[in-house]
Amino acid sequence: MAAKVFESIGKFGLALAVAGGVVNSALYNDLQNVNITLRILFRPVASQLPRIFTSIGEDYDERVLPSITTEILKSVVARFDAGELITQRELVSRQVSDDLTERAATFGLILDDVSLVRATGSLWGGAAAV
């Protein structure tokens, strides 16, 4: 078992990885839909690799990141109305980053960077970079 865990450490990697284009849909305070694309740079906590492998699996990033990203985006976006999402985008971005970083830590993941790279919806008349 230990050999399999350490063999998999090479597959996990200790360098940064990119979860490109995580798109999530959320309703903001005005009950209109907005789609947000995130770029997440993440890595596992090295000391927690055996636990991550045995409890979550090799595809930990595909299993954890989409679900917690949806959870956090819906939570944060719901706190704002349409105008605030535009005028306070730095605050929205910071809250998403902070909340997502905290949530990912419970799964043994370190988020080095979380960026809101695109938002679409009726609020922006189609698309906009956030």
60-69 per-position pLDDT tens digit: 888 898 889 8
Contact predicate 72/103, CB 8 Å: yes
Please give the full DSSP string across 75-114, using - where no structure is assigned. Answer: HHHTTS-HHHHHHTHHHHHHHHHHHHHHHHHTTTEEEEEE
- The domain that holds 81 is classified in CATH as 3.30.479.30
**119: which 2 tokens?**
């938002």
7 — pLDDT class (breaks 50, 70, 90): very low
82-98 per-position pLDDT tens digit: 778 778 888 989 999 99
Q: Which of 119, 88, 113, 90 is nearest to 100 (CA)?
A: 113
**61: which 2 tokens?**
């990033």
For residue 32, what are the domain limits?
2-128
- Greater model confidence, 37 or 110: 110
Q: What is the total count of domains within the chain?
A: 1
Is the pLDDT confidence value at 41 over 50? yes
Percent of the chain past pLDDT 90, that is, above it, reads: 23
| Average pLDDT of every residue of the chain | 74
pLDDT attached to residue 97: 95
